[in-house]
Structure 1
Amino acid sequence: MNLPNKLTIFRVILIPFFVVFLLLDPSNQTYRYIADAIFIIASLTDMLDGKIARKYNLVTNFGKFMDPLADKLLVSAAMICLIATGQLAAWIVIVIISREFIISGFRLIASDNGIVIAASYWGKFKTVFQMLMIIVLIANIQMPFFTVLGTILIYVALVLTIVSLIDYIVKNKDVLKEQN
């Protein structure tokens, strides 16, 4: 197993530890900082595994499948935990996770037709803002600046989620047409 795939597996292994530290005692700021550190490390492995895989031609079918799945698991787990802590509205999480299912469906259909749908810039911006939102919300710093920043990041991430979904649908609508 190559290094990028090991980093992807490591990211998945970090998820339960992240969840435990965030939910064990949400009022314990030390636990929240540990959860934040775990989330940041896991997020950095996402960036690192892709760079290593492309640079050293270590792209594998396992990585193509598992890397995006690990990302979705990490971000979804974080947002669901933030519902439990009362920091994120369930409807926002439903919109964001629904977008991921829709795009995954598009990619599956495209793959069956021999088409690869690459990540768009909108999708990359969406991911960056979702991760920043999660980091700020987990830190839960009780200062007006961070409260406002968290709120702004929530709505920017939500808007980018919707924009990236529309972008994918518009650019790839032909994928849904029946192939002969």
Structure 2
Amino acid sequence: MVRIALVPVFIWFLLLDTAGTEEAFAAENGPWRWAAAGVFAAAMITDKIDGDLARARNLVTDFGKIADPIADKLLIGAGLVMLSLLGELHWWVTIVILVREISVTVLRMAVIRYGVMPASRGGKLKTVLQSAGLQLMLLPLVVIAPWLADIAFWIMILAAVVTVVTGVDYLISALRMRAAALRSRGD
């Protein structure tokens, strides 16, 4: 829930950093950009802490299996859209990732009567790649060290590829889950 609450703060800080001034490009190295990068990092750290606590205390719940990916999607989606709006991330990357994320969320809801689809290892890798790429793109150091922009770009391309591959994997898993449930009911 903390990650979800941090999304508007993250967006607000990015908007404050480029608040329509003529110095918008120079503002990318401003304090609000640092604040946005910090909020994004803090939100992603809460994801790790939450997961570690849930596993250590055996508190893995169906609610958590659904809410956790939604919180990730909101934060990552906000980062993708904001960076695309700012002209710092190609829209096609944002669209590919968001279409997959929305599709998998709808798919999870469609098969929930057959069981909960937890995040796969590939899905977790996808989240790590998306987070790392976005974090690098958010850092104002990219203006000072352009090579970070190249690294961030290639991480985002890899994230887009892994995003598509894991989307197909989730579709196959959902179809199998549905088929198994129907077989067990005798339908």
| TM interval, short-chain normalised | 0.7 to 0.9
Name 2:157's counterpart in structure 1: 155
* Residue type of the alignment partner of 1:126: K
Q: In 1, are the aligned partners of 2:62 and 2:116 still within 8 Å (CA)? A: no
For 2:112 and 2:40, how far apart are their aligned partners in 1?
Answer: 30
1:94 CA drift (Å): 1.5
User: How has the CA–CA distance of structure 1 residues 28 and 147 changed in structure 2, closer, same or farther, with 3 Å as cutoff?
Assistant: closer
User: How has the CA–CA distance of structure 1 residues 79 and 129 changed in structure 2, closer, same or farther, with 3 Å as cutoff?
Assistant: same
- Find the residue that maps to 2:80 and give its secondary structure: helix
Is 1:17–2:19 an aligned residue pair?
no
1:129 CA drift (Å): 0.5
1:158 CA drift (Å): 0.7
Structure 2: state its 5+ residue gaps: 19-26
Return structure 1 stretches of 4+ with deviation > 4 angstroms: 175-178
Q: Give the alignment's TM-score, normalised by structure 1.
A: 0.85
1:61 CA drift (Å): 4.6
For 1:58 and 1:89, how far apart are their aligned partners in 2?
Answer: 39
Name 2:170's counterpart in structure 1: 168
Q: In 1, are the aligned partners of 2:65 and 2:118 still within 8 Å (CA)? A: no
1:66 CA drift (Å): 2.4
For 2:109 and 2:51, how far apart are their aligned partners in 1?
Answer: 20
Is 1:37–2:38 an aligned residue pair?
yes
Name 2:22's counterpart in structure 1: none
1:176 CA drift (Å): 5.6
For 1:24 and 1:76, how far apart are their aligned partners in 2?
Answer: 19
What do the CA deviations read for 1:15-37 (whole angstroms, capped 9, x no partner)? 11111111212324221111111
Q: In 2, are the aligned partners of 1:109 and 1:176 still within 8 Å (CA)? A: no
* Residue type of the alignment partner of 1:76: G
- Find the residue that maps to 2:118 and give its secondary structure: coil
User: How has the CA–CA distance of structure 1 residues 150 and 45 changed in structure 2, closer, same or farther, with 3 Å as cutoff?
Assistant: same
When Rg is computed on C-alpha atoms for both structures, the one with the higher figure is 2
Q: Please list, as runs of the form range in 1=range in 2, the aligned pairs for 1:99-118 lying within 5 A after superposition.
A: 99-113=100-114, 115-118=115-118
Size of the aligned set, in residue pairs, is: 171
Q: Please list, as runs of the form range in 1=range in 2, the aligned pairs for 1:1-180 lying within 5 A after superposition.
A: 9-26=1-18, 27-29=27-29, 30-113=31-114, 115-140=115-140, 141-142=142-143, 143-175=145-177, 179=182, 180=187
User: How has the CA–CA distance of structure 1 residues 118 and 28 changed in structure 2, closer, same or farther, with 3 Å as cutoff?
Assistant: closer
Q: Give the alignment's TM-score, normalised by structure 2.
A: 0.82
1:148 CA drift (Å): 1.0
* Residue type of the alignment partner of 2:65: K
- Find the residue that maps to 2:112 and give its secondary structure: helix
- Find the residue that maps to 2:76 and give its secondary structure: helix
For 2:164 and 2:149, how far apart are their aligned partners in 1?
Answer: 23
- Find the residue that maps to 2:111 and give its secondary structure: helix
Q: In 2, are the aligned partners of 1:126 and 1:161 still within 8 Å (CA)? A: yes
